[in-house]
Amino acid sequence: MAKMIFVNLPVSDMERSIKFYTALGFTQNKDFSDANGVGMMWDDNIWVMLLTYDFYRKFLKGHELADTTKISGSLTAFSLNSRAEVEEFAETAKNNGGDYYHVEINIPEDQMYELEVADPDGNILSASWMNM
């Protein structure tokens, strides 16, 4: 069996989040979706799991749920095929309730290009392209 990646994100408005991630090219897997969590597939091996705050808290064992509009606990990067795809991904996010920004990391943009994309709950995804 191939390895899989599941990125679990706390969301405050499930329907808004489903629409946002669908616009970015994710597909909802109804077999792994219910009122507590929704499986959104990037491809067969990479998923974003949208979890209600109450359900997400069950996995925290003594940790507090961060207000992701103010506090970040992780950055998740997704690679895309070109700089143009990175820019399109970011613009799609912005047009669907999210936002994006660029961080200067002193790597030539013809070698690596990245935009930080925030979903409507403030979870940050790095959309990146690398000239391999």
Q: Spell out the domain ranges in the chain.
A: 1-58, 74-132
Query: Which parts of the chain register pLDDT below 50?
Result: none
Cα distance between residue 70 and residue 41, in whole Å: 27
Sign of the dihedral defined by the CA atoms of residues 59, 77, 66, 52, in that order: negative
The CATH architecture assigned to 74-132 reads Roll (3.10)
pLDDT at 73: 79
pLDDT at 92: 98
pLDDT at 72: 86
Question: Cα-Cα-Cα-Cα dihedral of 28, 32, 36, 38, to 10°?
Answer: -20
For domain 1-58, give the CATH superfamily: 2,3-Dihydroxybiphenyl 1,2-Dioxygenase, domain 1 (3.10.180.10)
pLDDT at 2: 81
